[in-house]
Amino acid sequence: MRAALVLIDGARADVLRELLARGDLPNLARSVIEPGSLTTGTTVFPSTTGVAYIPFLFGRYPGSVGIPGIRWLDRRGAAGNWREQWRAARSYCGPQGGLLNSDIAPAPSIFDLVPDSIAICTPLTRGLPAGGHRIPLRRVILGAAAHYIGTYPALDRAVASAWLDAANESWRFLFVVFPGVDGISHLKDPHHPAVLESYRLVDRALGAFRARVERLGGEPPVFFVVSDHGMTVVREHHDTATFLESIGLPTLRHPTHVWRRGARAATMVSGNASVQLYFDPRSGRDTPRTESEIPASVLERLLASPAVRLAACRAGNGGISVRTRKGRARLSEESGLIRYEPQEGDPLGLRGSVELDDREMLSRTRDTDVPDAPRQLLQLFQAHRAGDLVLAAAPGYDFRGPWEIPEHQAGHGSLIAEHMEVPIAASVALPDAPIRTVDLMPTILERLDVAVPRGVMFDGVPASRITGVPEPLAR
Ligand SMILES: [Zn+2]
């Protein structure tokens, strides 16, 4: 048995379904969905490239392995010399990209557990055998060109061609990443004709790969076709860093202010619709701040912005405090139960106090505007490196100014449904219950009949064990 996991970065579940309905993705329909299934799952927070690959390749939440975002601040390093300050302002979008592999806490990747693995165009390579990462150089060169001048089709075609070549080889697990849908969506919008053409390119690549496998007399692998996050159009940029500067807080930020003198705050943006804030970043204090240690006037002013769907921080008593302009609630987890206790208003839209186990909570939140928010906020703040405060953007907003090159016309990273919901297609049956991307790796290992070593734990659950979850309550 072999498995191929195809990741269409930034593919929206609704766009994929529309294209399928129009007959535009015939290979995905015939080779994957007709014999198997298609569902809409949820990804992780922050819903951003790289970070949101961790569930697929480690079976863990990013917060469980110490990665709170595509950018984050190392509190201790930020108080060091100029070199340490640069390194402390971590950003995987650029020369520090490779650090993602070593920053992830010790845990086996799927490549460690399935040694006969090949991966094409991935930022996460930990555990791959020598030569197992295909087109690494073209990924860097074509990827940089695509980022600045928009030539994503050339990058996607290189991926398709490497995928076709892999049909002739022996492997048990194949991971293929197509960056075009995400990249072109950022430059235009998630429904632009050029974006739709990127979905079709992936479909043609799937058809060509399958045809070659069959011509060589092989059995097609079990296919999983997924995305790591959705996307929405950005109507207004609300740059958190320039806002903090405007109220008198010098702010450490990327790309050129990582050495900001006298910094009183640091902003680390993911996606760009989420941001983590760190207060007094030059103090050398390693302990994250709790709610009462966050300047209340700054928090109130941030919450007053229409760009902010919610803010969250560590409550003093071990839980998480969720804030909106008019609402406040506490999240906590004890003895396998997640508890949501609104104190003012109802920030997560759950209509009162709720205490449920993990899968029931997923199901219960699935139809809110912030699906899986309780689990996702709890997992993020497991990471010591997570900010003192995190903001998730409302639809239509992001947290980086129009100065970014190139300017983001669309984005992701927030907890909102349009960013959290992702298509999950498989050539085998998927459970008729809400699932998360973190459930995929245990599901694939089960399909491949790979024994999980003792002591290795996953945050996800194999599909075969996801049953009996009640339907979301009618709203
Ligand atoms: Zn993106």
CB < 8 Å & 24+ apart, contacts of 465-471: 466/359, 466/431, 466/433, 466/435, 466/439, 467/431, 467/433, 468/433, 469/359, 469/360, 469/362, 469/363, 469/433, 469/434, 470/360, 470/363, 471/363
Phi, psi (5° rounding) for residue 154? Answer: -65, -40
Ligand 1 centroid distance, CA of 87 (Å): 23
Q: What are the two backbone dihedrals, phi and then psi, of residue 268, each rounded to the nearest 5 degrees?
A: -125, 110
Average pLDDT value for residue range 281-305: 97
Q: Which of helix, strand or coil describes residue 347?
A: coil
What is the Å distance from ligand 1's center to 165 Cα?
Answer: 27
Distance CA 111, CA 47 (A): 23
Q: What is the pLDDT of residue 401?
A: 87
The pLDDT of residue 475: 35
Average pLDDT over residues 69-87: 96
> Ligand 1 mean position to 182 CA, how many Å?
5
For ligand 1, the distance from its centroid to the CA atom of residue 149, given in whole angstroms, is: 15
Question: Could you tell me the distance, in angstroms and rounded to a whole number, from the CA of residue 359 to the centre of ligand 1?
Answer: 28
CA of 49 to the centre of ligand 1 (A): 6
CA 432 / ligand 1 centre spacing (Å): 29
Cα-to-centroid distance, 468 and ligand 1 (Å): 35
Residue 212 confidence (pLDDT) above 70: yes
**pLDDT per position as a tens digit, 134-152:** 999 899 899 989 998 889 9
Q: How far away, in angstroms, is 424 Cα from ligand 1 center?
A: 18
pTM of the model: 0.96
C-alpha to C-alpha distance for 189 and 177, rounded to whole angstroms: 20
Distance CA 421, CA 412 (A): 11
Asked if pLDDT for residue 197 goes beyond 60, the answer is yes
52 contacts 44 by C-beta, under 8 angstroms: yes
Q: How far is the CA of 245 from the centre of ligand 1 (A)?
A: 26
* Alpha helices by DSSP H, 325-447: 358-365, 373-380, 417-420, 440-447
User: CA–CA separation, 164 vs 180, rounded Å?
Assistant: 18
Residue 10 Cα, ligand 1 centroid: separation in angstroms? 6
Q: For residue range 325-377, what is the model confidence (pLDDT) as tens digits? A: 999 999 999 999 999 999 999 999 999 999 999 999 999 999 999 999 999 99
pLDDT of 321 > 90? The answer is: yes
Please give the span between the terminal C-alpha atoms of the chain, in angstroms, as a whole number.
42
Q: What separation in Å is there between the alpha carbon of 270 and the centre of ligand 1?
A: 9
Q: What is the mean pLDDT of residues 242-246?
A: 97
Q: CA–CA separation, 288 vs 214, rounded Å?
A: 55
The pair of structure tokens assigned to 154 is 């050339």
CA of 438 to the centre of ligand 1 (A): 19
| Pairing between β-strand 397-398 and β-strand 236-237 as defined by DSSP bridges | parallel
Checking if the pLDDT of 470 tops 90, the result is no
- Quick one: pLDDT at residue 19? 98
Beta bridge partners of 267: 277
Ligand 1 centroid to Cα of residue 154, in Å, is 17
Arithmetic mean of pLDDT over the chain: 95
pLDDT at 474: 39
What single-letter amino acid sits at 97?
Answer: G
pLDDT score recorded for residue 177: 98
d(CA 110, CA 458): 11
Structure confidence at residue 403 (pLDDT): 85
CB contact at 8 A, 237 and 402: yes
What spacing in Å lies between the alpha carbon of 58 and ligand 1's midpoint? 20
* Spatial CA neighbour of 59 closest among 368, 474, 452: 452
User: Is 60 exceeded by the pLDDT of residue 160?
Assistant: yes
Number of Cβ atoms within 10 Å of the Cβ of 36: 17
Distance in angstroms (rounded) separating the CA atoms of residues 220 and 467: 28
CB atoms within 10 A of CB 247: 11
pLDDT at res. 402:
85
**CA 374/CA 165 separation, integer angstroms:** 43
CA of 254 to the centre of ligand 1 (A): 17
Distance 427 CA to ligand 1 centre (A): 27
Give the pLDDT confidence score for residue 468 in this predicted structure.
52
The yes-or-no verdict on residue 162 having pLDDT over 70 is: yes
Please give all residues whose CB falls under 5 A of ion ligand 1, grouped by chain where several chains appear: 49, 182
Average pLDDT of span 223-245: 97
Q: Residue 157 Cα, ligand 1 centroid: separation in angstroms?
A: 19
